[in-house]
Amino acid sequence: MADVPTPPPPSKALILVRRSASTVFLWALVTGIFLSRNSWGFLGLIAALTIIATIEYFRMLKAASIQCFPRFGIILAVLYSAGVYAFFLSGKSTIPQDYDDFAFFLAVAGPFMLQLRHPIRGMEGLLAVAANLLGFVYIAFLFNFAARVTFMAPGANAVPGMVGGSGAVLLLWLLAVTKFTDMGAYIVGSMMGRHKMIPHVSPGKTWEGFGGALIFAQLAACGLYLLFPEQLACLAGWKHVIALGFILAILAVVGDLAESVLKRSINAKDSGRILPGIGGSLDLIDSLCFTAPALYFYLRVILLPSL
């Protein structure tokens, strides 16, 4: 029987078209939720992306024959997210430290207890525990800072069931800066990228693309601040907007590279296929897993220390 020829990889133009179509769809969805100001809409989107990304993570591990405990990991992500959202829906603006501490305790103790059922084969058991812990911290814990950023903003919980005050616009600002960073890196890197950035991690990343990422991030950061100065007053002026633009851009690139480390380590191309040209949910939120916590801590420590 003759070998079936391998289809050629899609061209850069086709990838750009697919990515653009997926991006338009996502922004339309985000815009609809933004205009509704419904708390369930914001939290529902974050929850869906968290759970799908967690499922994709464990599916990639299983495909790479890495021992792990996917049911426990997915259930923990669901319960942790539900608890976070329950706090916000009850009118709180922050999450108690004890809640996070208990979640981390379960994330460590649970996989160890499950590992007790299996024989010890070298590092296999320890790696199984570590893989589960990484899945919780990397996705459920870090990405849910997007919800924390939304509800920590002044006036976000003023009206029950609605995201008021600066909350919705601050989340929109975070999404725009992060995604414009990705867009700038891809567009500039595709058009004029020559010098490889970190070829052993991501062969497609170039220093020209990194420069484009920084420029596009500032366009989003400064542009939205110019359009919504009152709603983004919590950013406390241009110097913080510009500083955050650079910080988030750098961390967005690091977040993208972090997922590349994960995928190259287990020989996976994309986390999923739900978004043509982009991949899966984890491919979509990888940068946000780093930028959302950074914005939260910048606000909490520097701009809004009284929270």
pLDDT in single tens digits along all 307 residues of the chain: 444 444 555 555 665 566 666 667 777 777 787 777 788 888 999 999 999 999 999 999 999 999 999 999 999 999 999 999 999 988 888 899 999 999 999 999 999 999 999 888 888 999 999 999 999 999 999 999 999 999 988 777 767 677 877 888 999 999 999 999 999 998 898 888 788 888 888 888 889 989 999 999 999 999 999 999 999 999 989 999 999 999 999 999 999 999 999 999 998 877 766 666 667 889 889 999 999 999 999 999 998 776 5
The number of CA neighbours under 13 Å toward the Cβ of 140 is 29
User: What pLDDT was estimated at residue 190?
Assistant: 84
Evaluate whether 182 touches 213 at the Cβ level (below 8 Å): yes
Query: CA quadruple 51, 57, 58, 60: dihedral positive or negative?
Result: positive
User: What pLDDT was estimated at residue 131?
Assistant: 96
Question: Which helix (H) or strand (E) is 125 found in, with range?
Answer: helix 124-135
> Which amino acid, residue 139?
I
User: What pLDDT was estimated at residue 195?
Assistant: 85
> Which amino acid, residue 119?
P
> Which amino acid, residue 99?
Y
Q: Where are the domains of the chain?
A: 18-303
- The candidate with the shortest Cα–Cα distance to 239, out of 225, 252, 249, 228, is 225
User: What pLDDT was estimated at residue 28?
Assistant: 79
The per-residue pLDDT for range 51-60, each reduced to its tens digit, is 999 999 999 9
pTM of this prediction?
0.87
Evaluate whether 289 touches 49 at the Cβ level (below 8 Å): no
Record the tokens describing residue 176, joined without a space: 């725009």
3-class SS of residue 38: strand
The number of CA neighbours under 13 Å toward the Cβ of 162 is 9
3-class SS of residue 64: coil
User: What pLDDT was estimated at residue 166?
Assistant: 84
